[in-house]
């Protein structure tokens, strides 16, 4: 002990010890600092729990542009107490989509189904869902499997356009009140049959949908009374629907119902399961149909270029089928008509109006994009940032219905970007309803413009804008509306 004290009292030894201690401390600190630096940078915020939520809600597109410029292609953000990492680079997004083992979607899907739609965990976490219901859904919504549903839809939307068009002909009406009910009803009939409670479910569905983006962002349900009440009403209506006669529902619905009943689940649970399908069906394509009309009506020439293309296709069909009425072959015509401008317009509308986020859960510690991620970290593929990237899409902030008429090979940093338009997401979470949705929009526009002309009511100055705070929830809803006048074509 005396010897140690003597050593410590020696100035030279003390100095050497302090240097050694400082070196060790600096090494340990450096390691900790480097480890921290390898985590994705956090977007700065002022309010602890709320985080960046308010700033995003103001103008999310501008927010993500600023964040990318400051932090790069990968950055973390806190909102409502939840920390999520965002990826805005097309190459990094592609890497995530390709590796479903490390970046899992199934867990996210299960949690959303339970937390957002009140589907029992016993069903969502079972092999019934993963090994029977999901494969069945994939089969019936595939490009070929969805054909019977599309056939039922084309019949329904033709009839509804005739009924609603006759009712509104010559009058000024808000476009939302015309487009959304037609597409809601036609799609519901196609999937659930004519006994589906369309009229009763329309308002509660939109009540639920109106704040769904807040529910998705983590806002406590106690603050979302409209959402909660709407969902409860939908549960009651669809539980009653599955208790009653519905033999004309699609085989997709009937087969899933048989599977769930055979495993002891009743109408209430079956109804809850299909409310999530109803949301996927109704929250996006009808709004895309709305923007298809709005965005083109505000361009020079309005809907006339599309009308002319459709008229040419109708004339060609009639020349080849002189003894048949096109009204008797609606699905055949809508599915085979070659309409490049309409196809490009649909694609551009989705690029311009959709805000899609693909969420993944990290399944094991991984290095990605130069940063370290731990198990259970959440990564969001922000595809809208790619869609609005001026280097990838020329004049990306402008709506150009002719953008996809020619094959495109956009580049970024000198490399070709193959995934430049990810309107359906990607990887294992790519929207399975995309085959129905594209044909739904195509048939709707064909039949609408075959029968009617639309013009903006000159007495109305109101113009809708994107409800941009619905970031990540699909096709953005409109704030405001457009008054139009519908005329039957001679």
User: What CATH number did the domain enclosing 195 receive?
Assistant: 1.10.630.10
**What mean pLDDT do residues 399-407 have?**
94
Q: pLDDT class for 7, splitting at 50, 70, 90?
A: very low
Name which residue leads in pLDDT, 411 or 180. Answer: 180
**Same domain as 140, residue 20:** no
Burial of 247 (0-12, 13-18, 19+ CB in 10 A): exposed
Q: Is the pLDDT of residue 50 over 80?
A: no
What is d(CA 187, CA 194) in angstroms, rounded to the nearest whole number? 11
Q: Is the pLDDT of residue 36 over 50?
A: no
pLDDT of residue 162: 94
Length, in residues, of the chain: 490
What is d(CA 72, CA 88) in angstroms, rounded to the nearest whole number? 9
Q: Is the pLDDT of residue 400 over 80?
A: yes
Neighbours of 35 (CB within 10 A): 10
Interacting residues of 354 by C-beta distance below 8 A, sequence separation 6+: 284, 288, 384, 387, 423, 474, 475, 476
In a domain, residue 321? The reply is yes
Q: Is the pLDDT of residue 21 over 70?
A: no
**Same domain as 300, residue 190:** yes
Q: Is the pLDDT of residue 410 over 60?
A: yes
Q: Is the pLDDT of residue 112 over 50?
A: yes
Q: Is 431 annotated as a binding residue?
A: yes
For 296-348, write each residue's pLDDT tens digit.
999 999 999 999 999 999 999 999 999 899 999 999 999 999 999 999 999 99
**Same domain as 309, residue 164:** yes
Our count of domains for the chain comes to 2
Direct distance between the N- and C-terminal alpha carbons of the chain, in angstroms, rounded to an integer: 110
For 432-480, write each residue's pLDDT tens digit.
899 999 999 999 999 999 999 999 999 999 999 998 877 777 899 999 9
In a domain, residue 58? The reply is no
What is d(CA 426, CA 429) in angstroms, rounded to the nearest whole number? 6
In a domain, residue 43? The reply is no
Q: pLDDT class for 61, splitting at 50, 70, 90?
A: confident
- Which residues form the domain of 32? 2-37
In a domain, residue 163? The reply is yes
In a domain, residue 62? The reply is no
**Same domain as 109, residue 31:** no
Q: What is the phi-psi region of residue 161: left when phi exceeds 0, alpha when psi lies from -120 to 50, beta otherwise?
A: alpha
Quick check: 405 and 341 in contact, CB under 8 A?
A: yes
Q: What is the percent of the chain with per-residue pLDDT over 90, rounded to a whole number?
A: 73
Which pairs count as long-range contacts for 408-412, CB under 8 Å and 24+ apart, including other chains?
A: 412/90
Q: Is the pLDDT of residue 16 over 70?
A: no
pLDDT of residue 51: 67
Q: Is 284 annotated as a binding residue?
A: yes
**Same domain as 227, residue 150:** yes
Quick check: 450 and 143 in contact, CB under 8 A?
A: no
Q: Is the pLDDT of residue 275 over 60?
A: yes
**Same domain as 25, residue 156:** no
pLDDT of residue 250: 98
Quick check: 212 and 279 in contact, CB under 8 A?
A: yes
Q: pLDDT class for 57, splitting at 50, 70, 90?
A: low
Among 22-31, 272-281, 414-423, which range has the highest average pLDDT?
A: 272-281
**Same domain as 243, residue 132:** yes
pLDDT of residue 59: 82
pLDDT of residue 37: 59
In a domain, residue 88? The reply is no
**What mean pLDDT do residues 361-369 have?**
94
pLDDT of residue 419: 86
Q: What is the mean pLDDT of the chain?
A: 89
In a domain, residue 238? The reply is yes
**Same domain as 247, residue 113:** yes
In a domain, residue 239? The reply is yes
pLDDT of residue 213: 86
């Amino acid at each position: 002990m005396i010897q140690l004290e003597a050593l410590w009292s020696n100035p030279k030894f003390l100095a050497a010890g302090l240097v050694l201690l400082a070196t060790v401390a600096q090494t340990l600190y450096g390691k900790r600092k480097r480890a921290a630096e390898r985590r994705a940078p956090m977007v700065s915020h002022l309010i602890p729990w709320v985080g960046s939520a308010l700033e995003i809600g103001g103008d999310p597109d501008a927010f993500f542009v600023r964040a990318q410029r400051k932090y790069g292609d990968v950055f973390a953000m806190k909102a409502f107490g939840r920390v999520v990492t965002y990826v805005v680079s097309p190459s990094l997004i592609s890497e995530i989509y390709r590796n479903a083992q490390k970046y899992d979607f199934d867990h996210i899907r299960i949690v959303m189904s339970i937390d957002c739609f009140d589907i029992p965990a016993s069903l969502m976490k079972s092999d019934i869902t993963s090994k029977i219901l999901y494969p069945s859904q994939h089969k019936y919504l595939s490009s070929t499997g969805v054909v019977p549903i599309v056939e039922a839809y084309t019949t329904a939307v033709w009839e509804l356009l005739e009924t609603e068009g006759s009712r509104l002909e010559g009058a000024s009406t808000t476009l939302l009140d015309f487009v959304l009910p037609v597409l809601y009803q036609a799609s519901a009939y196609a999937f659930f049959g004519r006994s589906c409670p369309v009229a009763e479910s329309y308002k509660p569905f939109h009540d639920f949908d109106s704040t769904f983006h807040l529910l998705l962002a983590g806002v406590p349900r106690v603050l979302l009374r409209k959402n909660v009440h709407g969902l409860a009403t939908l549960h009651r209506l669809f539980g009653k629907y599955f208790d009653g006669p519905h033999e004309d529902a699609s085989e997709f619905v009937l087969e899933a119902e048989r599977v769930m009943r055979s495993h002891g689940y009743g109408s209430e649970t079956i109804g809850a399961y299909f409310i999530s399908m109803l949301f996927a069906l109704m929250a996006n394509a009808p709004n895309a149909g709305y923007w298809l009309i709005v965005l083109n009506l505000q361009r020079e020439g309005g809907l006339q270029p599309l009308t002319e293309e459709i008229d040419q296709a109708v004339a060609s069909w009639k020349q080849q089928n002189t003894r048949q009425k096109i009204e008797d072959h609606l699905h055949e015509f809508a599915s085979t008509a070659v309409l490049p401008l309409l196809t490009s317009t649909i694609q551009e509308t989705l690029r311009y109006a959709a805000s899609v986020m693909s969420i993944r859960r990290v399944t094991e510690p991984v290095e990605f994009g130069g940063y370290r991620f731990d198990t259970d970290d959440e990564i969001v593929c922000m595809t809208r940032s790619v869609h609005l990237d001026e280097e990838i899409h020329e004049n990306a902030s402008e709506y150009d219905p002719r953008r996809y008429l020619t094959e495109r090979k956009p580049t970024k940093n000198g490399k070709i970007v193959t995934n430049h338009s990810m309107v359906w997401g990607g990887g294992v979470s790519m929207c399975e309803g995309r085959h129905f949705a594209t044909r739904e929009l195509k048939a709707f526009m064909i039949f609408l413009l075959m029968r009617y002309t639309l013009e903006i009511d000159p007495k109305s100055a109101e113009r809708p804008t994107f409800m941009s705070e619905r970031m990540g929830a699909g096709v953005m809803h409109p704030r405001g509306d457009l008054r139009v006048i519908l005329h039957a074509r001679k």
